[in-house]
Structure 1
Amino acid sequence: MRKQQKHVSKTANPKTRSVENSESIPADLIFEISSRLTAKSLSRFRCLSKEWASIFCSRNFAHSFLTRSSARPRLLFTFHVDGKLFSYSAPQPRNPDQDLSHVVVDNHMPIPTRMGSFLIHSPVSGLICPSELWSKRGCNDSKMMMMICNPSAGQFKKLPAARTRRVHVRTYLGYNPIKKEYKVLCMSLSRTYPKISEEHQVLTLGTGKLFWRMIECSLQRCPESGGICINGVLYYSAYQDNWFGVVQNFIVICFDVSSEKFKSLEINLTCSSTPDKLQGSISGRTTSLGLMVLDDAEQHKWSKKTYILPPFWKNLGVDTRLNVVGMTSDSEIAFSPSILSDPFYIFYYDAERNTTVKVRVQGIDFVKNQYIYTFIDHAEDVKPMQVLGF
């Protein structure tokens, strides 16, 4: 006996028939599947429907996606050209070897900015905070520009001007993973040499109305430009200059993002060098690499390890400079040129095996003599700016 077939009216709307004969995907299943995608894919899927856009823009989804993204870190490359901040990211190689010859980047949406010369510190939970090198931009204008940018989402927001009349400032971005709270730390530098930190203030994101608050800090040192936030603590290096070009009393300052308290980790180090060399820069002339290892944070005990670099470094050329951009979870030190080149390479040094691997980065639009920032352990974030209180 033949199965009776259902008859469908020829005049019925095809879209109506499709909806009637299909089952909608549960929101929790969309949530689970989508949190495993890339930020680039989510930016396209967000346009499919209002329901999907609502899921992807929710605070819960943003935090879930960031947690998963942190487990699959990426490389981040940024540079500033013609009033725009360009960003690229690529999968971060795990245990790279000679067989892994290259990585291919994703091109993120350019972010417009009116800044001149500025600094970008290490990304913090997917966000970066570009800020101008100095605050004074005219005879009567001393407002420094700062932004919060999400490279993965191509979003940005200008921050209110810090409360300072000083010319030189330093800013850092911190994140408290317990309260899921971002804070920007800004300090003015003294007018006279050496440039010690003064007028410390904090801006808390996600509070709706943003305003700067002055905080106390008894650690008056010359802060370096580099900084990194780990488990709710912001670390940045500082030093004391004795006016004769000898850097001494080199310390690591720790800023607890939650309590807004400062403490220092002293390093018994005196070096007749410039601050840039202390941050970790090598060239073809470099024959060894020295690392300071913190053995006891309470007692401020450090040990120094020196590694003789393999002959590979001699092939770099004496004019090629590589900056230390971090250490991976596999204990490999990553180096990157500060000037964009074609071809463009990053380098991984395994101190235990004394081996080096060169990885070509493909897909970055070449701009001659352009300064480029390279970061490791970047976590993609899809958090809309309104989640931060904007």
Structure 2
Amino acid sequence: MDSFLGLISEIPLDLLVEILIRLPPKYLARFKCVSKQWSSLISSRYFCERLFTITKGKQQPHLYMCLVGERGQSELLSMSSTSPDNTSFVVDQDLRIPGMGGYYLTDLHGLMCFSMGKKACIYNPSTGQLLTLPKIKSDIIADQGQTRYINRYYIGYDSVNDQNKLLCTSVMYSYSLSNLKSEHWVFVLEAGGSWKKVVTHENYRPHTPFPRGQSISGSVVHYLAWHDMANMSIPALALKAELIDYGGKIAIFEHSKLKIGGIVILWVLEDAEKKEWSKRSLVLHPCHRHLVQDTEFILKGTTQDGKVILAPVEMHSGFYILRYDLQSNDLRKVDIEGVPNRWFDKECYYDLRLMSESERVIYLET
């Protein structure tokens, strides 16, 4: 080993960088264990920016699935496409992160965000960097009957200051989402960063956000939310509606009638300032109806080319997702192989993120 490290040390730094960035990104996390020098190099801003430049547009998208069992056991799986048309994925790496608690993943520019206990974590799957943020000390004072408390995290990007930021919405509420109290915090991902509380507008209404949000341009985070709506049946509460990116516009994808009628309702925000929405109904082709008739699905986001990802609520002997092309009204089944058998036929929660590893590789400052 010493002779190997000695040989490596004789390689000029610039040449070593050029060698490493041409290797599959999934190996970079392992190479950080070679030495402190390699760990520092692979985690550096220069290396990440060089990696982004050389790999931009060359790699196939990766599917990441977070699984959380009823007893808290967790697993983050990386999956790569095995077909030119991305109709088949296979697990290629088990990215075990001890203590990973949340199964809701948010992502932007190649970074993932999830919860670990009561703290937020930012993870770069290309370099293996994991950054755990400090716990938020909420200012919310619970009233009588308020016993439930949640934090929702979303990643955004400030293009003016070239900063990645994390938004947290903290909520305290009573049973059935009644008697809500909420506040918002922002963390700038930079050295010495800390949580800063957002001063709300005088007309601000407390609310609880839906788990997933959208950051179309990167600079503004949008998410569905509701106020005190106890005993009200709405699609979002039943996981039947979610925000998506529709041609660069915010849209609501409602699929409450997908299983029974094969119908999807699309609400598109045409003018954000005027709050003007357009409505469009999509009806599945008869040849696609069998894909949705026997299973309940949850929307899991969109691909880089705008296709909607639908995943089955329950997993049994196998796993797959549906890829819905809204432009052509085409629905395709995408098979996933290699998910560990221990996750089938048991109660567990999961989330999915489909993103290109070369979308943007960001250096995480600690």
Compute the TM-score of the two structures, normalised by the length of structure 1: 0.70
The answer to whether 1:357 aligns with 2:338 is no
Which protein shows a greater Rg?
Answer: 1
The 3 A distance-change label for structure 1 pair 388 and 102 is same
The answer to whether 1:232 aligns with 2:226 is no
The correspondence for 1:204, drawn from 188, 213, 234, is: 188
One-letter amino acid of the counterpart of residue 290, structure 1: I
Q: CA–CA distance in 2 between the matches of 1:382 and 1:330?
A: 19
One-letter amino acid of the counterpart of residue 165, structure 2: K
Alignment of 1:87-166 (within 5 A): 87-91=76-80, 96=85, 101-113=87-99, 115=101, 118-131=102-115, 144-154=118-128, 156-164=130-138
Q: CA deviation at 1:181?
A: 3.3
Q: CA deviation at 1:239?
A: 3.2
Q: CA deviation at 1:240?
A: 4.2
Corresponding position of 1:217: 200
Q: Is the 8 A contact 2:189 2:365 kept in 1?
A: yes
The 3 A distance-change label for structure 1 pair 203 and 229 is same
Q: CA–CA distance in 2 between the matches of 1:329 and 1:317?
A: 23
The correspondence for 1:341, drawn from 316, 321, 331, is: 316
Q: CA deviation at 1:308?
A: 0.5
Q: Is the 8 A contact 2:78 2:95 kept in 1?
A: no
5+ residue gaps in structure 1?
Answer: 1-14, 133-142, 248-270
The answer to whether 1:299 aligns with 2:299 is no
The 3 A distance-change label for structure 1 pair 154 and 52 is closer
SS of the residue corresponding to residue 123 of structure 1 reads strand
> Aligned residue pairs: how many?
330
Q: Is the 8 A contact 2:185 2:198 kept in 1?
A: yes
The 3 A distance-change label for structure 1 pair 189 and 69 is farther
Q: CA–CA distance in 2 between the matches of 1:176 and 1:317?
A: 36
Deviations 1:63-89 (A, max 9, x none): 343566664432211112454431122
Corresponding position of 2:352: 374
Deviations 1:60-116 (A, max 9, x none): 2123435666644322111124544311223468983xxx6522222133111174x
The 3 A distance-change label for structure 1 pair 293 and 226 is same
Q: CA–CA distance in 1 between the matches of 2:283 and 2:331?
A: 12
The 3 A distance-change label for structure 1 pair 119 and 197 is farther
Q: CA–CA distance in 1 between the matches of 2:84 and 2:16?
A: 33
The answer to whether 1:57 aligns with 2:43 is yes
The 3 A distance-change label for structure 1 pair 49 and 184 is closer
Q: CA–CA distance in 2 between the matches of 1:312 and 1:322?
A: 18
The correspondence for 1:77, drawn from 65, 68, 74, is: 65
The 3 A distance-change label for structure 1 pair 37 and 303 is farther
Q: CA deviation at 1:174?
A: 1.9
One-letter amino acid of the counterpart of residue 353, structure 1: S
The 3 A distance-change label for structure 1 pair 285 and 95 is farther
Q: CA deviation at 1:50?
A: 5.7
Q: Is the 8 A contact 1:77 1:375 kept in 2?
A: yes
Name the stretch that deviates more: 320-329 or 374-383. Answer: 374-383
The 3 A distance-change label for structure 1 pair 242 and 45 is closer
Q: CA RMSD in A?
A: 3.7
One-letter amino acid of the counterpart of residue 79, structure 1: L
The 3 A distance-change label for structure 1 pair 241 and 95 is farther
The answer to whether 1:285 aligns with 2:260 is yes
Q: Is the 8 A contact 2:262 2:292 kept in 1?
A: no
4+ runs of 1 displaced by more than 6 Å? 380-384
Q: Is the 8 A contact 1:194 1:222 kept in 2?
A: no
Q: Is the 8 A contact 1:92 1:376 kept in 2?
A: no
Q: CA deviation at 1:331?
A: 3.2
Name the stretch that deviates more: 122-131 or 368-377. Answer: 122-131
One-letter amino acid of the counterpart of residue 388, structure 1: E
One-letter amino acid of the counterpart of residue 128, structure 1: M
Name the stretch that deviates more: 195-204 or 351-360. Answer: 195-204
Q: Percent identity, aligned pairs only?
A: 27
Q: CA–CA distance in 2 between the matches of 1:352 and 1:25?
A: 51
Q: Is the 8 A contact 1:123 1:378 kept in 2?
A: no
Q: Is the 8 A contact 2:187 2:195 kept in 1?
A: yes
The 3 A distance-change label for structure 1 pair 195 and 201 is farther
Compute the TM-score of the two structures, normalised by the length of structure 2: 0.74
